[in-house]
């Protein structure tokens, strides 16, 4: 304990006769005021913390001993289980030596002969009936809730043993069970650890022998002496105590199922023979009265006894084999076997009860296979969506071969939508709008292209499903445009950024056309209204800029000041595509173009390039009219200056600027627009008629 703790208080708390209620009552009586109570509480808290630390130190100090003890407990648990199993076997052995054979003795299922006609039934031997009753009574005494087992008079027990049920994935022990094998069913009972007396198990489940399959499991690591019990769609794993018991389970279940099928075939054959004999015997009785009055005639020929219908053994076992294939997810083998079985069962007569049952079982397995394949394509919570279209190609093709092309199409597109949403969540919103749009469009249009190619490959023989792909692509494009509009068409995004983003998604749509899906018209329709608003806003801003610069324009030539300024001017004009302006500077480093004209040239050429990238489809008239309107506004500014008296002395400068706008700037702007769109701009070309208003000097 810590030195700051009160030893008297520690002794009082650790006393053998410590009473918490009395301790609290004494503390409240001795302490005066809340301050002393808080101090008392702090002392108790210190003792608690000190005790906790001591316990932790003890755990650390004896950590290896804890691990060793846990291993010893686990080992002893296994030893106790083996000892219990050996005692059970020895008890069974003593019972077999002292009396009649116990329930654990192996019995081969009796070969059932064809039963006698129903009119004269032959009772079973008294010893057999007594033995079966005694076995079932012993079972009912040991298993709680198993009274209904005796409802089938012909049921008898063949085998039993202790088992341990394991988890199907981790192979860890779940519970102890006891398995009982009858001639027509398999029963599982759960061990009751807290029970004493003869009732040691509780009934859990009873499976018809026709609906289960026992499959051997290889010994891997700690998994030994185990087998699978397949009841589609459920699978359970059981572990035996020894390899011998496991082999006995596999052998006796297989032998019992085969004996049961042979007995059913013999009963069916005997039933057919009895039916034919009755028909033959009834004929003379019906014609007895006619024989007295009519001359004797030779008998027409007795009715032939029908031959028993032969069904191949592999066909009768096909439902069980299908259950195994489905449990092991071997869908291709299941579909191939199902096709062979349906083809072999097609010519068999419907009047046979066995044929009807077989077809019903095959139809059920076909439905199970369809549901399993649909589950492969269905999007479920917690299931990984990694992998492209190829990940679902197998299930998709098998489902189409089963005749469910419509459902396969719907599930395939739903899965592709879920995968696309998952990929879009990985695209983080960046501060750079262009980068975000490039990544977003690449994800969306790549998914559309992959889906289109995979859809065409899978549904090439089903052209009626193509409309579903078009509707799906339109919906995904609408979702994409909703995100695109929120990020791009905002006040903070410049026209250059807008033009680059629109160009990026248009190029992605053009590449998608190569995959067989053309969404360019849908894309242009979605872009029409927001781009029109953006072009109109850019037009208004440019017109406002022209008006403001015109108010400050004094029509004075630009002074470049020195040769370096002239060089920079010439390089800029060359880059803008105005080579004629390179010859304008004179010896005094002056240019007859005003600062307003030079600034307008820069902004207008940039506007022509950006609007040219936005132009296309129904947007073309809006873009061309905007370019013509902006250039016309600048020309009108020069025309108004020619008419004003205060600029009479600057008339030559005004004419030079006007001619430069119509001769050089208009040509450069048309070239930029043609480079961006591949076609001329008639509204801008029509402005050449304004050239007459700026005559040469």
pLDDT digits (tens, 9 = 90+) for 17-33: 888 888 888 888 777 77
Pairing, β 173-182 against β 226-231: unpaired
| Residue 185 near residue 205, CB atoms below 8 Å | no
* Rounded average pLDDT over 435-460: 90
pLDDT of 617: 84
The rounded distance, in Å, linking the Cα atoms of 271 and 267 is: 6
pLDDT of 292: 42
100 confidence band (pLDDT: 50, 70, 90): very low
> What is the three-class DSSP state of 623?
helix
| Residue 418 near residue 380, CB atoms below 8 Å | no
How far, in Å, are 282, 285, 288, 351, 444 from residue 293 at the CA level? 19, 15, 10, 39, 96
- φ, ψ dihedrals at 187, nearest 5°: -120, 140
Choice between 596 and 119, residue whose per-residue pLDDT is larger:
596
Q: Percent of the chain beyond pLDDT 90?
A: 24
pLDDT digits (tens, 9 = 90+) for 35-70: 888 888 888 888 888 888 888 888 777 777 777 787
| Residue 189 near residue 238, CB atoms below 8 Å | no
Closest-CA residue to 616 (of 539, 507, 489, 491): 507
| Residue 597 near residue 606, CB atoms below 8 Å | no
pLDDT of 212: 83
pLDDT of 542: 92
Helix axes 495-514, 433-458, angle to 10 degrees: 10
Name the most confidently modeled range: 77-81, 281-285, 665-669.
Answer: 665-669
The rounded distance, in Å, linking the Cα atoms of 682 and 678 is: 13
Q: What are the residue boundaries of the structural domains of the chain, listed by start?
A: 7-61, 100-108+130-263, 389-518, 530-557+592-693
How far, in Å, are 222, 307, 316, 505 from residue 350 at the CA level? 50, 16, 16, 62
Residue 599 clears pLDDT 60, i.e. is over it: yes
The rounded distance, in Å, linking the Cα atoms of 536 and 529 is: 11
Closest-CA residue to 625 (of 670, 561, 684): 684
Fold held by 389-518:
Methane Monooxygenase Hydroxylase; Chain G, domain 1 (1.20.58)
CB atoms within 10 A of CB 515: 17
500 confidence band (pLDDT: 50, 70, 90): very high
CB atoms within 10 A of CB 683: 17
pLDDT of 324: 86
* Rounded average pLDDT over 483-500: 89
- φ, ψ dihedrals at 428, nearest 5°: -85, 140
pLDDT of 389: 58
Q: What is the mean pLDDT of the chain?
A: 81
The rounded distance, in Å, linking the Cα atoms of 237 and 253 is: 16
Choice between 331 and 31, residue whose per-residue pLDDT is larger:
331
Closest-CA residue to 552 (of 512, 603, 594, 592): 594
The rounded distance, in Å, linking the Cα atoms of 153 and 431 is: 80
pLDDT digits (tens, 9 = 90+) for 152-191: 778 888 889 999 999 887 888 889 999 999 888 899 999 8
* Nearest-10 Cα torsion for 263, 266, 270, 272: 120
DSSP 98-151: HSS--TTS--PPP-PPPPPPTTS--PPPHHHHHHHHHHHHHHHHHEET-GGGGG
* Rounded average pLDDT over 484-504: 90
Query: What CATH class has 100-108+130-263?
Result: mainly beta
607 confidence band (pLDDT: 50, 70, 90): very high
238 confidence band (pLDDT: 50, 70, 90): very high
| Residue 604 near residue 631, CB atoms below 8 Å | yes
pLDDT digits (tens, 9 = 90+) for 454-482: 898 889 888 888 899 999 999 999 999 99
Residues present in the chain in total: 697
Choice between 551 and 382, residue whose per-residue pLDDT is larger:
551
pLDDT of 302: 41
* Rounded average pLDDT over 416-434: 83
pLDDT of 177: 93
The rounded distance, in Å, linking the Cα atoms of 78 and 55 is: 31
pLDDT of 125: 38
H or E segment at 559?
strand 558-559
pLDDT of 609: 93
H or E segment at 396?
helix 393-401
Residue 581 clears pLDDT 70, i.e. is over it: yes
pLDDT of 391: 62
Our measurement of the distance from residue 348's CA atom to the centroid of its chain's CA atoms, rounded to an integer in Å, reads 41
Residue 96 clears pLDDT 70, i.e. is over it: no
How far, in Å, are 195, 452, 512, 514 from residue 466 at the CA level? 65, 10, 16, 17
pLDDT of 296: 42
Choice between 536 and 148, residue whose per-residue pLDDT is larger:
536
- In terms of C-beta density within 10 A (0-12 exposed, 13-18 middle, 19 or more buried), how is residue 92 classed? middle
How far, in Å, are 227, 367, 465 from residue 416 at the CA level? 38, 25, 16
603 confidence band (pLDDT: 50, 70, 90): very high
445 confidence band (pLDDT: 50, 70, 90): very high
pLDDT of 307: 55
Residue 126 clears pLDDT 60, i.e. is over it: no
pLDDT of 286: 41
pLDDT of 693: 67
Q: How many contiguous H segments (helices) and E segments (strands) does the chain have?
A: 23, 10
DSSP 437-481: HHHHHHHHHHHHHHHHHHHHHHSTT-GGGHHHHHHHHHHHHHHHH
pLDDT of 602: 92
231 confidence band (pLDDT: 50, 70, 90): confident
| Residue 615 near residue 624, CB atoms below 8 Å | yes
């Amino acid at each position: 304990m810590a030195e700051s703790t009160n030893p008297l208080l520690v002794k009082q708390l650790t006393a053998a006769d410590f009473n918490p209620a009395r301790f609290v009552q004494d503390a409240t009586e001795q302490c005066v005021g809340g301050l002393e109570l808080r101090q008392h509480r702090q002392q108790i808290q210190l003792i608690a913390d000190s005790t906790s630390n001591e316990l932790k130190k003890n755990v650390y100090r004896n950590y290896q001993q804890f691990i060793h003890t846990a291993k010893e407990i686990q080992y002893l648990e296994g030893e106790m289980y083996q000892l219990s199993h050996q005692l059970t076997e020895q008890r069974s052995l003593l019972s077999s030596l002292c009396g009649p054979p116990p329930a654990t003795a192996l019995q081969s299922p009796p070969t059932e002969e064809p039963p006698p006609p129903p009119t004269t039934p032959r009772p079973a031997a008294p010893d057999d009936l007594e033995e079966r009753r005694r076995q079932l009574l012993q079972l009912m005494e040991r298993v709680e809730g198993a009274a209904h087992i005796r409802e089938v008079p012909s049921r008898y027990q063949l085998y039993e043993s202790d088992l341990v049920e394991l988890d199907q994935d981790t192979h860890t022990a779940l519970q102890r069970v006891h398995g009982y094998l009858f001639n027509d069913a398999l029963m599982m009972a759960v061990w009751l650890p807290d029970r004493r007396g003869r009732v040691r198990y509780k009934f859990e489940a009873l499976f018809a022998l026709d609906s289960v399959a026992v499959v051997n499991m290889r010994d891997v690591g700690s998994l030994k002496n185990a087998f699978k019990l397949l009841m589609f769609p459920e699978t359970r794993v059981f572990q035996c105590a020894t390899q011998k018991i496991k082999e006995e389970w596999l052998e006796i279940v297989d032998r019992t199922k085969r004996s049961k099928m042979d007995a059913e075939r013999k009963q069916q054959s005997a039933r057919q023979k009895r039916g034919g004999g009755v028909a033959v015997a009834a004929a003379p009785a019906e014609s007895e009265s006619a024989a007295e009055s009519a001359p004797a005639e030779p008998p027409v020929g007795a009715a032939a006894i029908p031959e028993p219908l032969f069904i191949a053994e592999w066909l009768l076992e096909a439902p069980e084999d299908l259950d195994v294939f489905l449990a092991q997810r071997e869908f291709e083998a299941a579909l191939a076997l199902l096709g062979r079985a349906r083809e072999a069962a097609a010519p068999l007569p419907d009047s046979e009860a066995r044929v009807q049952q077989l077809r019903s079982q095959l139809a059920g397995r076909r439905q199970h296979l369809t549901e399993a394949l649909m589950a492969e394509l269905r999007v479920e919570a917690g299931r990984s969506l990694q992998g492209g279209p190829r990940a679902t190609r197998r299930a998709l093709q098998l489902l189409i071969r089963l005749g469910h092309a419509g459902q396969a199409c719907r599930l395939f597109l739903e899965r592709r939508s879920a995968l696309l949403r998952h990929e879009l969540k990985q695209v983080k919103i960046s501060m750079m709008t262009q980068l975000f749009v490039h990544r977003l469009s690449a994800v969306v249009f790549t998914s559309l292209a992959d889906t289109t190619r995979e859809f065409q490959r899978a549904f090439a023989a089903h052209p009626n499903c193509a409309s579903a792909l078009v509707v799906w692509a339109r919906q995904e494009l609408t979702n994409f445009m909703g995100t695109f509009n929120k990020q791009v068409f905002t006040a903070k995004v410049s026209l250059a950024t807008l033009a680059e983003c629109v160009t990026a998604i248009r190029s992605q749509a053009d590449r998608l056309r190569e995959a067989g899906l053309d969404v360019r018209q849908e894309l242009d329709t979605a872009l029409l209204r927001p781009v029109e608003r953006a072009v109109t806003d850019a037009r208004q801003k440019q017109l406002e800029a022209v008006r403001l610069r015109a108010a400050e324009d004094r029509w004075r030539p630009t002074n470049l000041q020195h040769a370096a300024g002239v060089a920079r001017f010439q390089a800029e004009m060359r880059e803008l595509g105005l080579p004629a302006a390179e010859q304008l500077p004179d010896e005094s480093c002056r240019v007859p173009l005003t600062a307003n004209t030079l600034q307008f040239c820069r902004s207008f050429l940039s506007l022509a390039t950006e609007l040219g990238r936005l132009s296309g489809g129904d947007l073309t008239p809006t873009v061309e009219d905007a370019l013509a309107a902006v250039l016309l506004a600048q020309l009108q500014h020069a025309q108004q200056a020619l008419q004003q008296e205060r600029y009479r002395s600057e008339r030559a400068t005004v004419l030079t600027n006007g001619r430069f706008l119509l001769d050089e700037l208009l040509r450069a702007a048309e070239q930029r627009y043609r480079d961006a769109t591949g076609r001329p701009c008639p509204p801008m070309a029509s402005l050449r008629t304004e050239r007459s208003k700026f005559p040469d000097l």
